[in-house]
Amino acid sequence: MTNKTNRWMPDKKEIHSLKCLFEQELFENVVPFWAIHSPDNKHGGYYNCLGHDGRVYDTTKHVWLQARQVWMFSKLFNQHDAKPEWLEIAGLGIDFLQKYAVRDDKRLYFSLNEQGEPVWIQRKIFSECFYIIALAEYSRAAERPELLDEAREQFEIVWNWTKDLSQLGRPVLKGQTPSQSLAVPMILLNVIEEMTGGNPAGYEQEIEECIKQILLHVHEDKKTVFETVGKDGRFIDSIEGRALNPGHAIEAGWFLHQWAAHLNDSHLQQKAVNIIRWSHERGWDREYGGLFYFLDYKGYSPVQLEWFMKLWWPHNEAMIAHLLNYSVTGEQGDWELFKQVQEYAFSHFRDNKHGGWFGYLDRKGEVTHSFKGGPYKGFFHVPRSLWICCQLLDKLGD
């Protein structure tokens, strides 16, 4: 969006020292914590409920997190360093998932017990989506192309489910306002990214459809991204329709940045820039810092009990997103937003004593939950963010 000559630039030393900080945090703190504490070498898969010191406090294996951990270790193996132990950890997860998580009808369970027997199934598509990215990335790491084929087949099945989610057993009732959720096209777009490595060939129509669906949630006149909108994108004046999830919108923003780059689409790039800036502007807590988890567009009290809390993952997403914004705009303001989030995140979520990051803070920034892994927190947002930021800082420092 700007050429190299009129870009604002931070001090090269600052970029370099940030890159070192992110790299050190990733490879000396976060990766070792999960590599040591999570693998279950006896039953396969990973323990993902890990206390502050890495102790397993529940042996349930949550499929989202199993699959995301396979993906992340495969990614680091593929892009950073082909360490055999990382490939081995990834293999432990993919074997476990293939053996236990997939039903005959190609739906995946939400959670398994220690031995791999099913505990719960959701009426959603997310277990399946994370399984696809795990298959795709591990397929490249292990040089097993048949796993990429499996990923593509699973994607086709999931794509068809999204045409009518009632196929998954969710009740369709007369009083429901027809609506769509940002989560669905957003995750599908990311799944295509991970399957294809950003090459749109063969998925042009699906990519276009996902981007179109995501943009229905972006109301430019209101500078707002809604989690739930009508089928035609219209605003719904209800608890669900007014709900904002700034971290989620920011994540959607950086997914769009990826495709704007692949498709060389400057119009889409500008939209991604705006989505990230607007969502930060709305979501940042001016009093105590950090991004709120939920807000109500009209300023009513949100009903989610955790709305005021500061969760780790929106901050992870925002670091990537602002750094991508700065990379394309070269504007000082975007760099400063990145720094604002980075400083908040590193000073609040890190645990230098035992390794890993905390996940949950109260509004004022005090840690409320001491565990490092739980039913919805595994080896994913923290390392993905640290790794992507490492790469972006590396490019900026050239």
Helices (DSSP H) in 46-178: which residue ranges?
A: 63-79, 84-96, 126-141, 145-163
- Cα separation, 388 vs 393, in Å, equals 9
* Of 52 and 140, CB closest to its own copies: 52
Q: Which residues contact 222 (CB under 8 A, 6 or more apart)?
A: 235, 297
CB of 70 to its own copies, least distance (A): 20
- Residue with the two structure tokens 């959701």: 122
CB of 246 to its own copies, least distance (A): 17
* Of 216 and 236, CB closest to its own copies: 236
Structure tokens at 75: 């990614």
One-letter amino acid of 111 = S
3-class DSSP assignment, residue 142: coil
* Of 12 and 55, CB closest to its own copies: 55
- Cα separation, 76 vs 185, in Å, equals 26
* Of 109 and 338, CB closest to its own copies: 109
Binding residues for its own copies (CB under 8 A): 49, 51-52, 57-60, 109, 111-113, 115-121, 171, 173-177, 238-239, 298, 300-303, 305-309, 360, 362-363, 368-371, 374-375
CB of 377 to its own copies, least distance (A): 9
CB of 45 to its own copies, least distance (A): 12
3-class DSSP assignment, residue 57: strand
* Of 173 and 201, CB closest to its own copies: 173
Q: Is 36 exposed, middle or buried (0-12, 13-18, 19+ CB in 10 A)?
A: exposed
CB–CB of 161/124 below 8 Å? no
CB of 156 to its own copies, least distance (A): 25
* Of 102 and 133, CB closest to its own copies: 102
CB of 326 to its own copies, least distance (A): 32
One-letter amino acid of 183 = A
Bridge-partner residues for 39, per DSSP? 46
Q: Which residues contact 43 (CB under 8 A, 6 or more apart)?
A: 96, 114, 115, 116
CB of 363 to its own copies, least distance (A): 7
CB of 173 to its own copies, least distance (A): 4
* Of 7 and 363, CB closest to its own copies: 363
CB–CB of 331/264 below 8 Å? no
* Of 296 and 394, CB closest to its own copies: 296
**Closest by Cα among 222, 74, 66 to 143:** 74
